[in-house]
Protein backbone atom coordinates (compact mmCIF):
# COMPACT_ATOMS: atom_id res chain seq x y z
CA UNK A 1 0.00 0.00 0.00
CA UNK A 2 1.28 3.44 -0.86
CA UNK A 3 0.82 6.42 1.40
CA UNK A 4 -0.79 8.55 -1.30
CA UNK A 5 -1.15 11.72 0.75
CA UNK A 6 2.34 11.49 2.28
CA UNK A 7 3.92 10.75 -1.09
CA UNK A 8 1.88 13.51 -2.75
CA UNK A 9 3.23 15.94 -0.18
CA UNK A 10 6.81 14.69 -0.59
CA UNK A 11 7.03 13.11 2.87
CA UNK A 12 8.73 9.77 3.35
CA UNK A 13 7.29 7.81 6.26
CA UNK A 14 9.95 5.63 7.83
CA UNK A 15 9.08 2.28 9.38
CA UNK A 16 10.96 -0.06 11.68
CA UNK A 17 13.32 2.40 13.32
CA UNK A 18 14.59 0.79 16.49
CA UNK A 19 14.59 2.63 19.79
CA UNK A 20 18.08 2.35 21.21
CA UNK A 21 17.76 1.67 24.93
CA UNK A 22 21.56 1.54 25.20
CA UNK A 23 21.55 5.31 24.66
CA UNK A 24 19.64 5.77 27.90
CA UNK A 25 16.12 5.89 26.48
CA UNK A 26 14.21 4.76 29.55
CA UNK A 27 10.85 3.04 29.49
CA UNK A 28 9.23 6.15 30.97
CA UNK A 29 10.74 8.35 28.26
CA UNK A 30 9.60 5.94 25.54
CA UNK A 31 6.10 5.80 27.04
CA UNK A 32 5.95 9.60 27.06
CA UNK A 33 7.01 9.79 23.41
CA UNK A 34 4.49 7.07 22.48
CA UNK A 35 1.72 9.12 24.07
CA UNK A 36 2.89 12.22 22.20
CA UNK A 37 2.75 10.24 18.97
CA UNK A 38 -0.75 8.94 19.64
CA UNK A 39 -2.00 12.49 20.30
CA UNK A 40 -0.11 14.08 17.39
CA UNK A 41 -2.16 16.25 15.02
CA UNK A 42 -0.96 18.75 12.45
CA UNK A 43 -2.64 21.69 14.14
CA UNK A 44 -0.70 24.88 13.34
CA UNK A 45 2.38 23.05 12.03
CA UNK A 46 3.17 23.07 8.34
CA UNK A 47 2.74 19.72 6.63
CA UNK A 48 6.53 19.34 6.48
CA UNK A 49 6.85 20.05 10.21
CA UNK A 50 4.04 17.61 10.97
CA UNK A 51 5.71 14.98 8.77
CA UNK A 52 9.06 15.37 10.53
CA UNK A 53 7.45 15.16 13.97
CA UNK A 54 5.37 12.15 12.89
CA UNK A 55 8.45 10.28 11.68
CA UNK A 56 10.48 11.26 14.76
CA UNK A 57 7.82 10.07 17.22
CA UNK A 58 6.65 7.01 15.27
CA UNK A 59 9.74 5.04 16.29
CA UNK A 60 8.46 5.06 19.87
CA UNK A 61 5.08 3.61 18.90
CA UNK A 62 5.99 0.80 16.51
CA UNK A 63 3.38 -1.53 17.98
CA UNK A 64 0.73 1.10 17.13
CA UNK A 65 1.86 1.36 13.50
CA UNK A 66 2.79 -2.24 12.82
CA UNK A 67 1.99 -2.14 9.10
CA UNK A 68 2.52 0.41 6.34
CA UNK A 69 -1.26 0.71 5.96
CA UNK A 70 -1.71 1.59 9.64
CA UNK A 71 1.21 4.03 9.51
CA UNK A 72 -0.27 5.78 6.48
CA UNK A 73 -3.76 5.92 7.97
CA UNK A 74 -2.48 7.43 11.22
CA UNK A 75 -0.45 10.03 9.28
CA UNK A 76 -3.41 10.98 7.12
CA UNK A 77 -5.79 11.12 10.10
CA UNK A 78 -3.50 13.62 11.82
CA UNK A 79 -3.53 16.07 8.93
CA UNK A 80 -5.84 19.05 9.05
CA UNK A 81 -9.10 18.27 7.27
CA UNK A 82 -8.62 20.95 4.61
CA UNK A 83 -5.27 19.40 3.64
CA UNK A 84 -6.76 15.89 3.48
CA UNK A 85 -9.58 17.13 1.26
CA UNK A 86 -7.27 19.15 -0.97
CA UNK A 87 -4.84 16.28 -1.51
CA UNK A 88 -7.74 13.85 -1.97
CA UNK A 89 -8.81 15.84 -5.04
CA UNK A 90 -5.40 15.33 -6.65
pLDDT, one tens digit per residue, over 9-47 is 566 665 445 555 555 568 899 999 999 999 999 999 999
Residue 60 contacts by C-beta under 8 Å, 6 or more apart in sequence?
A: 19, 30, 33, 34, 36, 37
* Between residues 21 and 54, the one the model is more confident about: 54
Full-model pTM: 0.75
Q: What does the pLDDT read at residue 48?
A: 87
Amino acid sequence: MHCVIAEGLGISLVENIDVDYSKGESNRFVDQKRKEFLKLKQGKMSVAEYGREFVRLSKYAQECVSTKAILCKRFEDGLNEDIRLLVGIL
